[in-house]
Each structure stands twice: as C-alpha cells, then as structure tokens.
Amino acid sequence: MTAQSGGPAGGRWRESERALEAGIDFERANAARIYDYLLGGACNFAVDREQAARILAQNPDMADVCRANRDFLRRAVEWCLAHGITQFLDLGSGVPTAGNVHEIALAHRPEARVAYVDFEPVAVAHAHEVVGGLENVSVTRADMRDTHGVLAAPGVRDLLDPDRPIALLTVAVLHFVPDPELPAILARYRAAMTSGSAHVMSHGSADHDDPELAARTRAIQDGYRGSATEVVLRSRPEIRDLLGDTELVAPGLVDIVDWPTASPGERPTGGYAAIARIH
C-alpha cells in the first residue's frame, strides 16, 4: 500500500489500518482505491494500480472522467447549499481526496453536517484520519444496501436531523452495485427524508446516440472486469428509474460535464448526472 503512515496522523492511521486489515481484500482491486489512484491519491495497492493501468489502456480518458465526477460533486454540493440543504449523507464516499464534501460544505456553511458511508476498509480508515476532530462530520463503515443499518448507525443517526432536509449523495457509486433491488433500496433512503431533501446521482452508461462515446464507456466496464467491484452499465431509463417518481431539477438527466449548464467544449464522459427533489 502506498498510503504513508508517518506524519502527525501516522499513529492513528496505523491503528485504524490494523483494526480494519481483516476486511481488506489484498488480492483484488477495489473501485474506491482505483478512483483514489486515478485522482492522484496514495491510498491504494499495487493491484489497484495494475487494474487502473488496464482501465486506462481500454479508455485513456478515465482519469478525466474521475475528475469530471469530482467537479460535478462540487457543483452539486454547492447547489444543495444554495437551496438550503446543509446536511449530507454520502453513500460510497470512497477515499477522501481534495475537494471532499465536508471541505466544500463547511467552507460555505460552518454549521453543515456530513455523514460519510463506505464499506471499503482503506477508504474508511483514511476518512477517519481526514475528518478526525471535526464534530460535524462522521465516517461509518457499512454496506449502502443495508438501508436500516446505515440510517441507524450512530454516525448517521446521531449527526443528521431527519426533520431537516438532507442531500442523499450517490455519486459514481451505483454502477458498482449490481443488486436488482437497488431502486427499492434508494426509495427507502428517500422515504426516510423530509420534504425539501434532494438525491444527487451520477452513473456510468453506454446508452448514447454517439457510438464512439458508448464504446468508450463499455471499454471502462471491460477495464474493471476481474476487480472486486465490476461495473454495471444501466440504460438511461434504468438510471432514471433509480430516482423513482422524484422531480428532476433542470437540466434533468445529462452528461456529467453538462450539469447544470451545457459545456459544448468539454469532452462527454459517458456518465449521466442529475439532482432530484424529494417531496
């Protein structure tokens, strides 16, 4: 692993690493650690870097796609804050990198609250190091498919006020969840949130009119084969179904680079993004 254990947080990192080591899959690459590597992070293993190399060989744009997702996350968080939403439940939050949700939110609204949830042990351990000492930020290790377990976890239950709007963040994570019950799982999260909340989502897809764009996205899917987190490319209608009967804010379901405004000079990512209002 390339994550450094020195520095002021080194002792806590080693302790977290030892506590979670039993759950780490050292043999297969993981999406959270691959994403970290492609964004220039250091919390990844050789197996993740090797898988990332295969992904880049299939689609050299993959690092740009990751950065575009990160940029969308920033814009989405800022949109939520501008619309009075100061609580965030980030499912599949991954390894913290520059521009974390809490960094963006707290910079604008010091009273904002952020609950990170991920299942990957390295992501969770490093997240604890990044947010240590921040009383308005929590990190929970849980499987996002376990709605009750997530919402009942102390880091979520004791931090987020269900009577106030919450932003449910599922950014670049749902295409790693093959569960056919995913629409119902997400509906249960939304049902637990009060009116005025929002569901933020981005999701990879090969459902495009441009055959070259569709091929690039399928190439990313091929690059993840054999990892612990293979990619499920849903169609545009299937992605819309993940948002249930919610109302999409303008411009609706569009390429990640085109939310909230079209960016004709930007190379499309092949991923769709949207924000849905929860009434």
pLDDT at res. 249? 98
Task: Please report which residue ranges of the chain form alpha helices under DSSP H.
Answer: 10-20, 31-38, 46-58, 62-82, 101-108, 121-131, 147-152, 154-157, 182-191, 211-223, 236-241
d(CA 87, CA 162): 9
* Adjacent-strand bridge partners of 201: 170, 274
87 belongs to a structural domain: yes
Assigned token pair, 192? 């637990």
DSSP secondary structure letters along 214-269: HHHHHHHHHHTTTSSS------HHHHHHTTTTPEEPTT-SEEGGGSSS--TTSPP-
SS3 96: coil
pLDDT at res. 23? 66
d(CA 89, CA 139): 10
Provide the CB-side half-sphere exposure for 269 (13 A, CA).
Answer: 26
Q: What CATH number is attached to the domain comprising 72?
A: 3.40.50.150
11 belongs to a structural domain: no
The DSSP call for residue 174 is G
What is the full per-residue pLDDT of the chain (279 aa) written as tens digits? 334 333 333 443 343 444 345 467 778 998 989 988 988 888 889 999 999 999 999 889 999 999 999 999 999 999 999 999 999 999 999 887 767 999 999 999 999 999 999 998 888 988 998 898 899 999 999 999 999 999 999 999 999 999 999 999 999 999 999 999 999 999 999 999 999 999 999 999 999 999 999 999 999 999 999 888 999 999 999 999 999 999 999 999 999 999 999 998 899 999 999 999 998
247-248/137-141 β-pairing: unpaired
171 belongs to a structural domain: yes
26 belongs to a structural domain: no
5 belongs to a structural domain: no
The DSSP call for residue 41 is -
Interior/surface letters 167-193, b for 16+ CB within 10 angstroms, e for the rest: bbbbbbbbbbbeeeebeebbbebbebb
d(CA 113, CA 160): 7
* Total domains present in the chain: 1
201 belongs to a structural domain: yes
pLDDT at res. 97? 75
Domain that holds residue 138: 68-208+231-278
101 belongs to a structural domain: yes
Q: Is residue 245 within 8 Å of 227, Cβ to Cβ?
A: no
What angle is formed at CA 46 by the lines to CA 130 and CA 234, rounded to 5 degrees? Answer: 75
Amino acid symbol at 1: M
262 belongs to a structural domain: yes
Sign of CA dihedral 76, 259, 251, 169: negative
